[in-house]
Amino acid sequence: MKNIFVLFSLFFAAPLAAQDLGSAPPPVEQLEILEEEGGLTGSVTDTSDWQDLGIAIAAFATDRDQPTGANASGTAALGQELARVISANLKNNGLFKPSGPDGLPQPTFQQVTAPQWASWSNRSAEMLVHGYVKAGADGRLTVGCYLYDVALKSELVRQGWVVSARDWRRAAHKCSDLVYSRLSGESPFFDSRIAYIAETGPKDNRTKRLAIMDSDGANHRFITTGRATALTPRYSPDYRQLVYLSYVDGNPRIYVYDIGAGKQTLVTQSTNPTFAPRWSPDGRWILYSMAVAGNTDIYRVSAEGGPSIRLTTTPGIDVGGSYSPDGKKIVFESDRSGSQQLYVMDSDGTNQKRISFFGGRAATPEWSPRGDQIAFTHIAGDFRVAVMNPSGGGLRFLTDDWQDEAPTWAPNGRILQYFRTERNSGRTSLWQVDLTGRNERRLDTPADASDPAWGPILP
Amino acid sequence: MKRQIFLTAVLTTTIALAGCKTAAPEELPPQQAVVVPEAVATAAPAATGPVVGTQSHFVNAVNGQNVVFFDTDRYNIDSADAAALQTQAQYLMRYANITVTIEGHTDERGTRDYNIALGERRANSAKNYLVGLGVPSNRIATVSYGKERPTAMGSNAEAWAQNRRAVTVVIN
């Protein structure tokens, strides 16, 4: 009799979940910053004139055309690709009016630091980007990025980075961020990753796989095989782990997946249903929701494992939770008043107060990384992405479709990503919109997509 | 004592089988875990029809009433649900070795996390009703699929009404 129970508990400790994992993606590497001059500090939101700024992005030059692990043809061709990534970043996000590198003159290596002003003055581009890429003996790449004011014929800012060949796109994102921050006064966001759920199949039999990609959709990887339904992922702030919900053992369970090791562990051994996992901004805590005898509450557990602390106790459904960037407060959703509304509490669960007092229901709150706004799903018939300030005022709707839900913030707190469900077909896709409500655009993903989670700036 | 061993072995086997989705179990389950109880086997008619312990036997016996339905955002058992659950309870009392899972589901017109919680409420509601009628609680598991497993594909009131449901499924 005893032997059977020992076997029973040992079996639960075994890694059943390993059956649904594909091969591990490469872990994130720190890149090296070389030099910095002329950067603007602080951030301002002035959305008026800089969006009409023309900016020419010339192909990056190289000192010597050498083979590189980054592509098949060498550093000269890589210089073109770097400039294309930057141009696509700025164009897709509705920022400025980028042109090039195709159709523009290609600067030589010397001209990168001494632009040929004559060939740039008549191109209706007020700003000019030059850069270089050099292959090092160790296989790493050194990339330099320079921003010039064409009318003033002066350099505004420069920066350089050393990256592994595999991470060449990060240098392009860093350059995009440098240009964007210097010209708009905003904080960067391009050098970041997104975790989401890739969906295929008919509406009554969806395959849902955990996937990750760069902020521009490149470097796409699947984490799970799709044999079991995966939902609602979140990157840890250091990009080393993903937390997500999986039905791989037949019940909703939350797993912490270690990207470097390619393995995962349960966030709690409890056999109650657990869902809606979230990270604290310092990466030390994981919030999750657990249903006991039909009643759902929010719990907190250390990211290292250990006992869970219960944060909410009301008989309603208390679910989700998003920390303020200083880690002191949590905004969450609860139906204790009779319908889903938003509440704020201290991070230890005390001082719970409702903050949503407008018509309709409010769900999936996410605190902006800048602390000044809370994004959420507003439900009044249709589902719309909306924002408000943390005390509950200043409600603004950013989208207007049948079912837009689960907004997630860009690292700079100025763009929101969410997923849109199409009526009847159930097809899903990822979309983005600025905090101003402008530049709503669809993201390109290999299949249908839902549950996006935007990570912070990469280390 | 025998019954406890039997139930434990059944549970262990069920969980072992749940974990081994893509390969046959390395060892066959122990002999005493074979599912069909003696009393029913001898009483069953000799010829055709579904076998006790299968979902189809259950669904036939309850005349398709293994599913109960809910209003939007609600998880209470109304009179139609009560009648269906009473039929289910009678079956479970008659075939005392059957264990079930009640799946809780919602329609698509809710956010994902909340719907998992609501599906769990519905599954629990149905379970509590069966337990109130005398079915032992340890024979009923619950699982919520939120809005992940609709049966009706449309985006209209009729489809949504069909998807807001709790489904009782035989697991052995």
Segment A2-10 mean pLDDT: 38
The amino acid sitting at A109 is F
The CATH number of whichever domain residue A215 belongs to comes to 2.120.10.30
- Both tokens of A153, joined, read 């014929």
Q: Which of residues 302-331 of A touch B (CB under 8 A)?
A: 317, 319-320
pLDDT-derived band at B5, boundaries 50, 70, 90: low
Q: Give the pLDDT of residue A94.
A: 85
pLDDT in tens, A309-365: 999 999 999 999 999 999 999 999 999 999 999 999 999 999 999 999 999 999 999
98-137 in A: which are within 8 Å (CB) of B? Answer: none
The pLDDT score that the predictor gives to residue B3 is 55
**C-alpha Rg value of chain B to the nearest Å:** 17
The Cα-based distances of B20 to A20, A422, B172 in angstroms read 11, 36, 15
Residue A71's pLDDT is what? 95
Domain shared by A133 and A279, yes or no: no
- Which residues, in sequence order, are bridge partners of residue A61? A132
Among A184, A205, A220, residue at a domain's last position: A184
Residue A96 CB-density burial (10 A; 0-12 exposed, 13-18 middle, 19+ buried): buried
What pLDDT does A325 receive?
A: 98
Confirm or reject contact between A333 and chain B (CB < 8 A).
yes
CB pair distance less than 8 Å for A340 and B114: yes
Per-residue pLDDT band for A93 (boundaries 50, 70, 90) equals confident
Q: How far is A439 from chain B (nearest CA, A)?
A: 25
Which of these three, A184, A204, A229, is where a domain ends? A184
Report the residue from B11, B117, B148 with minimal CB separation from A229.
Answer: B148
What pLDDT is stored for residue A437 in this prediction?
93
Contact A294 B16 (CB under 8 A): no
Pair A260, A157 in one domain: no
Predicted confidence at residue A35, as pLDDT, reads: 72
Using the predicted structure, report yes or no on whether residue A171 has a pLDDT greater than 50. yes
Q: Which helix (H) or strand (E) holds A56?
A: strand A54-57
Strand ranges in A109-203 using DSSP code E only, listed in sequence order: 127-135, 141-149, 154-163, 192-200
Smallest Cβ–Cβ distance between A4 and the set B12, B21, B75 belongs to B12
- The answer to whether residue A14 is domain-embedded is no
Q: Does position A156 have pLDDT exceeding 90, yes or no?
A: yes
How far CA A335 is from CA of A173, A231, A300, B139, in Å, comes to 41, 22, 20, 30
Report the distance separating Cα A174 and Cα A161, nearest Å. 8
DSSP one-letter code for A277: E
Token output for A275 = 């869902």
Contacts of A319 in chain B (CB under 8 A): 113-114, 117
Cβ atoms of A322 and A332 within 8 Å: the answer is yes
Q: How far apart are CA A410 and CA A433, in angstroms?
A: 10
Q: With contact defined as beta carbons under 8 Å apart, do A159 and A382 qualify?
A: no
Tell me the average pLDDT across A41-58.
68
Q: How confident is the model at residue A7 (pLDDT cuts 50, 70, 90)?
A: very low
State the greatest distance between any 2 C-alpha atoms of chain A, in Å, as a whole number.
89
From residue A195, alpha-carbon distances to A219, A293, A445, B72, B153 in Å are: 12, 31, 12, 31, 27
Tell which CATH classification among 3.30.1330.60, 3.40.50.10860, 3.30.70.1140, 3.10.129.10 matches the domain B50-170. 3.30.1330.60
Q: Is there a domain that residue A15 lies in?
A: no
A46 exposed, middle or buried (CB, 10 Å; 0-12, 13-18, 19+)? exposed
Percent of chain A with pLDDT strictly greater than 70: 93
Same-domain pairing of A216 and A246: yes
pLDDT at A4: 40
Give CA A103 to chain center in angstroms. Answer: 32
**Quick check: is A291 in a domain?**
yes
Considering the domain architecture, whether residues A318 and A432 belong to the same structural domain is answered as yes
Q: What is the ipTM of this complex?
A: 0.92
User: Which of A160, A184, A208 is the last residue before a domain boundary?
Assistant: A184
CB < 8 Å to A338, chain B: none
Q: Which residues of B touch A424 (CB under 8 A)?
A: 153-155
Query: What pLDDT is stored for residue A6 in this prediction?
Result: 37
Please give the pLDDT value at position A5. Answer: 37
Same domain, A208 and A305: yes
Assign A14 a pLDDT band (cuts: 50, 70, 90). very low
The pLDDT of residue A122 is 85
End-to-end CA distance of chain A: 53
**A159 interfacial to chain B (CB closer than 8 Å):** no
In this complex, the residue of A19, A204, A275 whose CB is nearest that of residue B21 is A19
A17 — pLDDT class (breaks 50, 70, 90): very low
Residues of A (407-436) whose Cβ lies below 8 Å from B: 421, 423-424, 426
Q: What is the pLDDT of residues A193-207, one digit of tens each?
A: 999 999 999 999 999
A284 domain-assigned:
yes
Q: Which residue has the higher pLDDT, B13 or A387?
A: A387
B140 sits in which H/E element: strand B140-146
Per-residue model confidence as pLDDT tens digits over B91-135: 999 999 999 999 999 999 999 999 999 999 999 999 999 999 999
Q: What is the mean pLDDT of residues A4-20?
A: 44
State the nearest Cα–Cα gap between B27 and chain A, in angstroms. Answer: 14
Pair (A281, A348) in one structural domain: yes
Give the closest residue to B150 by CA, choosing from A233, A452, A426. A426
From B114's Cα to the closest Cα of chain A, the distance in A is 7
Q: What pairing do the DSSP bridges indicate for beta strands A127-135 and A54-57?
A: parallel
pLDDT band at B50 (very low <50, low <70, confident <90, very high): confident
**Interface contact A406-B111, CB threshold 8 A:** yes
- Per-residue pLDDT, averaged over A27-34, amounts to 89
| Candidates B8, B114, B116; nearest CB to A4 | B8
Q: Please check whether residue A406 touches B, CB under 8 A.
A: yes
Backbone angles phi, psi at B167, to 5 degrees: -110, 125
Q: Report d(CA A247, CA A229) in Å as an integer.
A: 5
- Tell me the three state secondary structure of residue B139: helix
Interface contact A4-B114, CB threshold 8 A? no
Mean pLDDT of A430-456: 96
The partner residue sitting opposite B120, judged by closest CB among A232, A296, A406, is A296
Q: Can you tell me whether residue A49 is helix, strand or coil?
A: helix
Q: Do A148 and A210 belong to one domain?
A: no
Residue A221 has pLDDT above 80, yes or no: yes
Q: What is the pTM of this model?
A: 0.88
A338 and chain B: CB distance < 8 Å anywhere? no
- Identify whether A19 is part of a domain: no
How big is chain A, counted in residues?
A: 459
Cβ contact (<8 Å) for A405 and B112? yes
Chain B hits for A334, CB-CB cut-off 8 Å, are none
Q: Are residues A254 and A133 in the same domain?
A: no
Decide which of A48 and B52 is more confident. Answer: B52
Tell me, what's the pLDDT at B172? 72
pLDDT of residue A52: 81
Closest listed residue to residue A195, CA positions, set A332, A320, A25: A25
Same domain, A208 and A162: no
Contact A232 B113 (CB under 8 A): yes
Q: Which domain holds residue A369?
A: 192-457
A245 and A345 both lie in a single domain = yes
For residue A17, being part of any structural domain is answered with: no
Do A203 and A179 belong to one domain?
Answer: no
Task: Give residue A10's pLDDT.
Answer: 34
Whether residues A166 and A297 fall in one domain: no
Give the whole-angstrom CA distance, residue B106 versus residue A340. 15
Question: Which has the minimum average pLDDT: A89-98, A225-234, B78-87?
Answer: A89-98
Task: Check which CATH number belongs to the domain holding A161 and give it.
Answer: 3.40.50.10070
Q: Structurally, how many domains does chain A consist of?
A: 2
pLDDT of amino acid A280: 98
pLDDT-above-90 percentage for chain A: 87
Q: A314 in a domain, yes or no? A: yes
Q: What is the rounded distance in angstroms from the CA atom of residue A192 to the CA atom of residue A93?
A: 14
